[in-house]
Structure 1
Amino acid sequence: MRAAILNSPRNLTISEVQTPLNPRMDEVIIKVKYAAICGTDLHLYRGETPAKYPVILGHEYSGEVLMVGSGIRTFKPGDRVIGSYMVSCGKCRFCIIGKPHLCERRLMFGINIDGSFAEYMRIPLAERVLVKIPDEINLEDAVLIPDTFLTALNAVEIGLKTGETILITGLGSIGLSAVIAAKIMGAGKIIGTVRREKPAKIAEELGVNYIINPEDENILNKIMKLTDNYGVDISIETSGSPKNIRLAFESLKPGGKLIQVAIPIEPVALDLKYMIGMEKSIIGALNPGTIIHIEKALNLIKDRISDLRKIVTHKYDLEELNKAMEILEKRIGDPVKVMIRID
């Protein structure tokens, strides 16, 4: 089969490798139809996130079941599926308390086990990883749900109450997905920061009430004015920019919550006296990645799938993956979400 092998930082080759066959008892082999590039893939490509080389890159995928192991009862050949970005053990202290995304022995597709930029994919412990796709959602749209949309949905659910004002910094694929999630969860006023034209236009189409360029010197004053000098109830930070992180924190009302989704690109200095004196909170948010959460995300987005589809700005074939990575890294053509056609 053809697969994209990350051999070392910036050494990504499309190669012929052995097709995974003969699934073990708890495994499923899927024929990958679509995959998508995540910011994590860029971090791995650039060597900013360590990986077990060589590894097939990618962790966002949709496809059809090809083979199932003898112990699999939930899936059969031909089923259309999506799945988690990781495989948890189910036995460690974090799995036991319902936080498998913090699993001590987790396997992560495209990092320490082979991932989704390939024609076929082996899924260990498949009944803990895969979810069937409802008939009303196609394979191309479905690939956006387990990672991109669920990451955003989880962040919104952590902090947002119906009618509250939310600030979303960095309207990329996660930030725009957070807009959709905030709408679904009943947000009042939505404020977004972005400087690029294409995501700003998508944000407007999705219903963001106010879009502000983060380079605006008066951005904090503008946000405070939009909230009657009260501050926002919740900030969701999806860029990793220290400047945006500080803005997201400083824009909070007393008692407000900053939900940090993006990994900061460098250490960030914050004046924590405001965290104490004004009871502001900073909460890290990682995609929970369980089949229960994926199924919930599917149910919530199925009537808004046309909105989620808007974040996809570029599509490439597997053989063009290096070009697609360059497009994202250099922001050529103002990309937001890049889809990879496998089949």
Structure 2
Amino acid sequence: MKALVLEELKKPMVIREMPDPECSEEGVVIRVEANGVCRSDWHAWMGDWDWWETSFPHVLGHEFSGVIEETGKHVKRFKRGDRVIVPFTNGDGTCTHCLSGHHNVCENVQMPGFTSWGGYGQYAHVPNADINLTKLPESIDFRVGAGMGCRFMTAFHGITDQAAVRPGEWVAIHGCGGLGLSAVQIATALGANVIAVDIDDKKLTFAQKLGAVATINARKDNPAKVLKEITKGGAHVSIDALGITQTCQASLLSLRKRGRHLQLGFTTKEEAGMIPVPIDLIVQSEIQIAGSIAMPPSQYPYMLNMVENGKLDPGALITDTVSVEEVPEVFEQMSDFQNIGVTVVNNW
């Protein structure tokens, strides 16, 4: 198969002919139709995560949708030709988290694109298909399906389940990349009053188009101070959608008493997973902190119903479609935070 291959960290990825993936008895092989270019791929390419170990050559790409090309003999819920979305965290169905419906935090989690070759190749293997895959409705095209595969569903799970956002609440979103913009649209659809925070006016304008009722340029103003003025006391929910020290701390400082901080963004090499936080404030104000990664497969129908009925429009986040050869250039743009919206690969 044709694939974009990572041969060395921080070096431009290259096009190579690679072996087609083999199909396991419980898995499927998918012909990739579209794959989102996500900052998590960029983090891996940069070598930001000490917990991620891989061998080279490697094929990244974890936001993909496509068509099942081959099924293992024990797969019962899916067949060749089915259109599917691939969650980027796959459970094995045996640990206590999987047995309670939380496959996204499986003790033995598999992550296509990270623990195995992913969607920057023409084909990808997905393990334990019956408990991990979700069918993509005919009314939703593959580009949109790919756009939902990581950022959108992580934001959906975080906002609806982990932070339990309610209509009428003030929700602050720090960082308006693809993840943050997804959060803007989802929180707005749930009836929240969204305030978007970034240092790029173009991204803030995009956030307004997606429903933000106010924006703050953190390069020009103190976001916590302005947020508390707008909301008359602070946000009910504040989200760090980037994962750097400035956005995490600003998010916590933007909350009212008994507010909820939602951490969506991973850190960079600079933070190495550790960010100083205002512990005394957290204690005195009874601040709650939650994380969100991917989404349990059981929650997909709720998200897809909202998409099919027009209440959510992940396609509105897609600003560019590229060929797989153009992905290295997109990564370079990510290094300078130049990207606006979501970029999707749909041409191999």
Same fold (TM over 0.5): yes
Letter in 2 for 1:24: S
Q: 2:217 aligns with which of 213, 217, 234?
A: 213
Instruction: Flag the 1:148–1:65 CA change in 2: closer, same or farther, 3 A.
Output: same
User: Which residue of 2 is the match for residue 195 of structure 1?
Assistant: 199
Find 1:131's aligned residue among 128, 131, 134.
Answer: 134
Q: How does 1:1-343 map to 2 (within 5 A)?
A: 1-11=1-11, 12-21=13-22, 23-49=23-49, 50-54=52-56, 55-157=58-160, 158-159=162-163, 160-187=165-192, 189-228=193-232, 230-265=233-268, 266=271, 267-288=274-295, 290-304=296-310, 307-332=313-338, 334-343=339-348
Q: For 1:123 and 1:221, how far apart are their aligned partners in 2?
A: 46
SS at match of 1:62: strand
SS of match in other structure, 1:310 = helix
Distance 1:173 1:304, change over 3 A: farther
Aligned Cα root-mean-square deviation (Å): 1.8
Displacement, 1:306? 7.4
8 Å CA contact retained: 2:223, 2:254: no
| TM-score relative to the length of structure 2 | 0.91
AA aligned to 1:112 is: T
Greater mean deviation of Cα atoms: 38-47 or 292-301: 292-301
Q: Is the Cα–Cα contact under 8 Å of residues 112 and 125 in structure 2 kept in the other structure?
A: no
Deviations 1:254-296 (A, max 9, x none): 11011111123313222211211111112222223x3212232
Gaps in structure 2 of 5+ consecutive residues: none
2:248 partner SS: helix
Letter in 2 for 1:301: V
Distance 1:222 1:163 in 2: 19
Distance 1:197 1:250 in 2: 22
Distance 1:166 1:306, change over 3 A: closer
- For residue 166 of structure 1, report the CA deviation from its aligned partner: 0.7
Structure 2 contact 89–294 (Cα < 8 Å) conserved:
no
Asked whether the 8 Å contact 1:60–1:147 carries over to 2, the reply is yes
Residue 342 of structure 1: how far off its partner (Å): 3.6
Query: 1:183–1:217: structure 2 CA closer, same or farther, 3 Å change rule?
Result: closer
- Contact 2:37 2:327 survives alignment (8 Å): no
CA distance, structure 2, for counterparts of residue 114 and residue 213 of structure 1: 38
Q: Offset of 1:113 from its aligned partner?
A: 0.9
TM-score (norm 1): 0.92
Distance 1:335 1:51, change over 3 A: farther
Letter in 1 for 2:172: L
